[in-house]
Structure 1
Amino acid sequence: MNSLLRKKDVSKIVAEATPLKRTMKTFDLTMLGIGAIIGTGIFVLTGKGALTAGPALAVSFLLAAICCGFAGLCYAEFASMAPVSGSAYSYAYLAFGELIAFVIGWNLILEYALQAATVSAGWAGYFNKLLEGFGFHLPVELTAAYGTTPGVTTYFNLPGFVVVLLITWVLSVGINQTKRVNDIMVIIKLAIIVLFIICTIRYINPANWKPFSPYGIYTFQPGSTQPYGIIPAASIVFFSFIGFDAVSSSAEETVNPNKTLPRGILISLAISTVIYIIMTLVMTGVVPYMDFAKFIDAPVAGVILATGLNWLAVIVNIGALVGMTTVMLVQLYGQSRICYAMARDGLFPKLFGEVHKKYLTPFKGTWFFGILTAIAGGFININILFELVNIGTLSAFMIVSAGVLWMRKTQPNAHRGFKAPGVPFTPILSIIFCLVFIAGLNWETWVRFAIWLAIGLAVYFGFSRRNSVLGKQAQKKARKAIDEAMAAAETKTETKE
């Protein structure tokens, strides 16, 4: 049992940091966080969210942001204690031991891969619309992997497959290239969002905001099994904020991580929340919330259509593509660094922990999971698996929050470059928010999550436990102690003789 709960020491885990190139600064981390957060939430989820909560969707975004904010404070404290790759995986290794750390790492792999694959499918849809605007049409058989349109058969999502491979190439050749590409795309994305707000704000009709909260906090409509209101909408738009935790996985490539990591996490969350709230108020002010049913898959495009600003549609379409590209980039980046950290600890094959001599990146591991993600987005129907992203993320949030409580108790004097304010209330509130969101998931999600965990436990007990670096060190130490004890006993016997 003790071997399952063996932990790493803070000083030891920092000393193990390997020679990844440290070039990320506060600006780059903020751009990385914004790149992960702003994308699908604005261009896709605002439609369904508006139908669920009405104009009060702005409050739902704020509620989801508060949940992530509490978790973000806990992430920031851990990141300042142990500025290493691995994010929640490494933090769990410090607080709760190897088995819990492996489970969290296993969940994060699912979260990052599945979200990147899902976003690649949405990216393909916007890309096809952009091509159609210029008179080009890809064969329908190569434009999606879902086959959900009646009478239409599709086999392969070619645009989504290609964009994931291109992002994987950028990630594999170096962090400098990655941050430059991400920074540029995030600036373009923010500029287009600001342009959208400036151009459409004069079309706001305050009457569309009344009633502001037509469904209240939580309610069921007659004849519907779907809950409506601010809280159910918050559960939907929570997906918008998934990914900010990937910022902490860049710790070993960050300059002065004790300060820059907490700043990057919290600043990106704050900026993204303000943008989401403003966008939501503008969109529900221009178009009555019930009308979003007409364009639920492309709510921003629907708002532009209502204003008659057709020239803006092409620009915003490009913004959607850029926005979702940055989301995929950050997700694949975070995934490769989680696997890198787990391989370094012996819990994954050494392949994933090898650092390229020229690019100083986990080259092989990046390509391995990049190809798998591209295949998943290209061939697999992943609609029914999307909620697994949510449950995997929430479980990680809860472990990190509980870890702050535990570390404050067991290691109160450990160096903390940043301290989460309001402890113990901050991590407790984070856990409560996560439990509320988890309670809203359906039972099929729990079953699929249990199957994924079962596979992970099989990997741990079949491979990881035997190859754990910490376990081998413990065995070596135990053998040395036994040898020393036997040698001492022999010396004592010879002395008596």
Structure 2
Amino acid sequence: MKEQGELQRQLTLMHVIVMGLAYMSPFAVFDTFGIVSEVTSGHVPTAYILVFTAILFTAFSYGKMVKRYPVSGSVYTYTQKTMNPHIGFIVGWITFLAYLALPMINALLARIYLSAGFPNIPEWIWIVGLIAVITVLNIIGLKIATNVNLLLVLFQFVLGITFVLLTINSILNEQPNRFFSADALISESLDTSTLFAGAALLALSFIGFDAITTLSEETIHPKKVIPKGIFLVALIGGIFFFTVTYFMQSLYPDVSSFNDIEGASPEIAQMIGGNLFLSFFIAGALVSVLASGMAAQTSASRLLYAMGRDGIIPKRVFGYVHPRFNTPIFNIIIIGVLALSALMLNLTQATSLINFGAFTAFSFVNLCVIVHYFRYHKERSFFSMISYVVFPLIGLGFVLYLWISLDLFSITLGMIWSLLGIGYLFFKTNYFTKEPPQVEFEELDA
């Protein structure tokens, strides 16, 4: 049994799935539909099939590593234990970018949505207000935050299902011949290069299945629950994304007629359900940013906790767990304060931080499975080679393609952050003459 002042194992499979889905943000499917439909010439659901298939290989890699290392550090711990402690720190440092950026993005989206509805209220109030709410909820307890997220995620799914039903009704009334048409999946206008370009844009829709690995230390039977959670979060998200976009694309195969391609989904919501449904749709968008921001802050605080407990960053602050709330309270507050940089950044800049950090995590978790196989795996068979080498290589190959799609700003910002981390590690380890502190994860397992 955990002593007071440490993370408590209290999460079940349902809690883990809810946090993963909240982080992933089901409503993100509506944010990207117009852009990806234009890029793929009306084949968004096919692009989702492609990216879902590719992401599954990386999800399997996470599942393998969390069984071996069921603690809070996620890819930071996997790289530290499997490859090298110094590389592990740098990977954790870079990955933190993605966890930090998502609360900022959600605060920015809240400002955009609410400022449009309440133009007389200063925009900064929405940013500060959202960050304050998610910070308080995360401080008072992970289980409370998870229960709140359950309601928020359910609301998003209910709205998503309603959206699909209204879309089907419009198809049957206006274009019954397009009901279950294959045109949304494959047609003469389908082009492989544009399909992959669309898939690259949609890859970020699946960020979330990996974030739940940071909850391993607070999950009951993590070696069983977390791998199941990873797969189910990716599967549920994939089915939801495909279903929604299939019927949207069937009803509107060409989005060029919309006033704002980036805002095609709200226009569609108004067309299929009128102003009343549009109001609920916008409410769903706000719920989405709240749920995703809360989950992102949770994951970021646990990554900092793992690094603080190891002593790689000041343990007294980052490795501290509040004895009453059983949460890393200082980390949560620090993430909240850093998220206030949304007051100075725009959406494109914040998204750049997510891209670089997420692709680093995806790359190294696949590499860790391969390295673990050749260093520590005793079984040598055809099937183990497929599972531990071929599948991770497929996942890595797709992530490398995503790296190519990054813009110069993302790469420059990511490299600057990486160099800062290397500089810190250089002095922390006395010019790389000693290894950074490590925690023995076996004593934390349960």
> Normalising by structure 1, what TM-score?
0.80
Deviations 1:9-52 (A, max 9, x none): xxxxxx99983121111111111111111345223111211111
Q: What is the aligned partner in structure 2 of residue 217 from structure 1?
A: 191
For each residue in 1:370-408, what CA deviation from the matched residue of structure 2 results, as whole angstroms up to 9, or x when unmatched? 1111x1112223523523311221121111111111112
Question: Which residue of 304, 325, 335 maps to 1:359?
Answer: 325
What does residue 17 of structure 2 align with?
Answer: 30
Q: Which residue type is aligned with residue 34 of structure 2?
A: G
Higher Cα radius of gyration: 1
Q: Which amino acid letter does the alignment assign opposite residue 168 of structure 1?
A: T
Contact 1:53 1:213 (8 Å CA) reproduced: no
Give the drift of 1:341.
Answer: 0.3
Inter-CA distance 194–404: structure 2 relative to 1 (3 Å threshold): same
Q: Secondary structure at the match of 1:295?
A: coil
Contiguous gaps of at least 5 residues in structure 2: 440-446
The correspondence for 1:319, drawn from 276, 281, 284, is 284
Q: How far, CA to CA, are the matches of 1:450 and 1:473 in structure 2?
A: 25
**CA distance, structure 1, for counterparts of residue 5 and residue 63 of structure 2:** 21
Give the AA of the match of 1:240. S
* Aligned residue number for residue 242 of structure 2: 277
Are 2:41 and 2:190, in contact at CA under 8 Å, matched by a contact in 1? no
8 Å CA contact 1:168, 1:367 repeated in 2 = yes
Equivalent in 200, 205, 208 of residue 240 of structure 1: 205
Name the CA distance, whole Å, in 2 between partners of 1:355 and 1:423: 36
C-alpha deviation, 1:259, in angstroms: 0.6
Conservation of the 8 A alpha-carbon contact between 1:42 and 1:300: no
Pair 1:94 & 2:81 matched: yes
| Correspondence for 1:153 | none
Q: Does 2:412 match 1:447?
A: yes
Structure 2 residue 353 is matched with structure 1 residue 388: yes
2:8 and 2:39 mapped to 1: Cα distance? 45
Q: What secondary structure sits across from 1:264 in the alignment?
A: helix
Cα distance in 1 for residues equivalent to 2:161 and 2:361: 33
Question: What CA distance in whole angstroms lies between the structure 1 residues aligned with 2:19 and 2:189?
Answer: 35
| Aligned residue in 2 for 1:103 | 90
Partners of 2:280 and 2:188 in 1: how far apart? Answer: 33
Query: How many residue pairs align between the two structures?
Result: 426
CA contact (8 A) 2:103 2:296 kept: yes
- Say whether residues 1:81 and 2:68 are aligned partners: yes
| Identity rate, percent | 23
Q: Verify: 1:333 aligned to 2:333, yes or no.
A: no
Residue 473 to residue 452, structure 1, CA distance change in 2 (3 Å)? closer
What is the TM-score of this pair, normalised by structure 2?
Answer: 0.88
In structure 1, what is the Cα distance between the partners aligned to 2:5 and 2:435? 17
Give 2:163's aligned residue.
196
Q: Is the 8 A contact 1:115 1:331 kept in 2?
A: yes
Are the structure 2 counterparts of residues 178 and 288 from structure 1 closer, same or farther at C-alpha, using a change threshold of 3 Å? same
* Residue type of the alignment partner of 2:157: L
Match in the other structure for 2:443 = none
1:126 is displaced (CA, Å) by: 2.2
> Where does residue 64 of structure 1 map in the other structure?
51
* Distance (Å, rounded) in 2 between the aligned partners of 1:215 and 1:89: 43
Distance 2:385 2:402 in 1: 22
Do 1:53 and 1:214's aligned partners in 2 also have CA atoms closer than 8 Å? no
Q: Which residue of 1 aligns with 2:442?
A: none
Aligned to 2:424: 459
Deviates more, 1:429-438 or 1:47-56: 47-56
Q: Which stretch shifts more, 120-129 or 24-33?
A: 120-129
Matched, 1:138 2:103: no
Secondary structure of 1:301's aligned partner: helix
2:373 touches 2:389 (CA, 8 Å); kept in 1?
no
* Structure 1 residues 309 and 340, CA gap change in structure 2 (3 angstroms): same
Unaligned runs of 5+ in 1: 1-14, 144-156, 220-228, 475-497
